[in-house]
Amino acid sequence: MSNETLLEVEGLKTYFHIEGKVAKAVDGVDFSIDRGETVALVGESGSGKSITSMSIMQLIPSPPGKIEEGAIKLEGKDLLSLSEREMMKVRGNDIGMIFQEPMTSLNPVFTIGEQLAEPMVKHQGMNKKDAKKRAVELLKLVGFPRAEETVKEYPHQLSGGMRQRVMIAMAMSCDPKLLIADEPTTALDVTIQAQILDLMQDVKKKYNSAILIITHDLGVVAETSDRVLVMYGGQIVENASAKDLFTNPKHPYTVGLLNSMPDVADEKERLESIPGTVPPAHNFPDGCRFAPRCKHAMEACTEAVPKLRENEPNHHVRCILYEDQGGEKE
């Protein structure tokens, strides 16, 4: 894996202004992704992970949403300084996105072939004949044995798993540097899930690109990711290699997530769920946002939001239990 930084997100704040209230959906997020890396962004729904990915793509509905602060740099270029026209080029050429529900992303009135060919004609200047040929190749690559037929079909003629594979082919059609996959396998059965995840890894290796995978499923993380960012209350609460996170989780929220993960090896094991729910983004508690659900909470936890600190090399955690260990936030 190369250590070349591909994406840097610095101090990102994305707020929603609704009915006189401010929902701080993403509230000071910092991370980076290297070329060749697969990074997972995990957390329960409402933790801010999808808003983070939509902020990177600048697909936040505005109003009511707004990126208030921060920088999002792709190969050093700040995407937030680009015009919508320039950003459309980035979305077509540099960053591919796979959404959770492919039916809403595919246009029902165009064939699969037309939809695959269009961005290649538009963004890569390919002629229509070559783009059609490439569409067939891409469909074969994502596992359609009769791709010549599939290009003539419409989205409703395909199963959910097939549509998701079409979305991967579409996201790959411009050889993106970064593939963002938001819950890419949630609606699929386990066998198809595994195929889709393998396919994404193959594509990443082939193009030396990187993947940001957004998921609430730690099983998916264990299978795919080099590094994990755990999000809670619009902030990253732990950032570690996947190996460290699974063997040595530190933040009480991460520990809770791991304890609630089904262990297929032990069917009788009772799963512990984390009590309570993610607080609404317009009404975070004072201090640590996890405090109302944390069994280690103490008075000091409610006084100030803990900083994200490097507790061990390349292992950052936002919790006062670790404040005496390790260094300051970088």
Closer of 29 and 305 to ligand SF4 (Cβ) = 305
CB atoms within 10 A of CB 19: 6
φ and ψ at residue 116, rounded to 5 degrees: -75, -35
Structure tokens at 133: 């040929």
Which of the residues 246 through 265 are near ligand SF4 (CB under 6 A)? 252
Element (H, E) at 53: helix 49-57
Least Å distance, CB 245 to ligand SF4, is: 16
For residue 257, what are its two tokens?
Answer: 């997530």
Residue 212 CA: distances (Å) to CA of 36, 105, 119, 151, 218: 11, 19, 22, 28, 14
Q: Write down the least CB distance from residue 140 to ligand SF4, Å.
A: 48
User: Is 320 one of the binding residues for ligand SF4 (CB under 6 A)?
Assistant: yes
Q: Which of 12, 218, 231, 291 contacts ligand SF4 by CB under 6 A? A: 291
For residues 169 and 313, give the distance between their C-alpha atoms in angstroms, rounded to a whole number.
37
Indicate which single residue of 71, 82, 87, 297 sits in contact with ligand SF4 (rule: CB under 6 A): 297
Write down the least CB distance from residue 306 to ligand SF4, Å.
Answer: 5
Cα atoms in the Cβ-side hemisphere of radius 13 Å centred on 159: 7
**Binder to ligand SF4 among 306, 308, 315, 316 (CB under 6 A)?**
306
Query: Applying CB under 6 A, does 319 fall inside the site for ligand SF4?
Result: yes
Q: Cα(134)–Cα(118) distance, rounded to whole angstroms?
A: 11
CB of 232 to ligand SF4, least distance (A): 9
Binding to ligand SF4 by residue 301, rule CB under 6 A?
yes
Q: What is the closest distance, in whole angstroms, from the C-beta atom of residue 32 to ligand SF4 in the complex? A: 24
Q: Is 231 in the site for ligand SF4 (CB under 6 A)?
A: no
Give the orientation angle of helix 128-141 with respect to helix 160-172, to 10 degrees: 130
Which chain residues interact with ligand SF4 by CB under 6 A?
252, 288, 290-291, 294, 296-297, 301, 306, 319-321
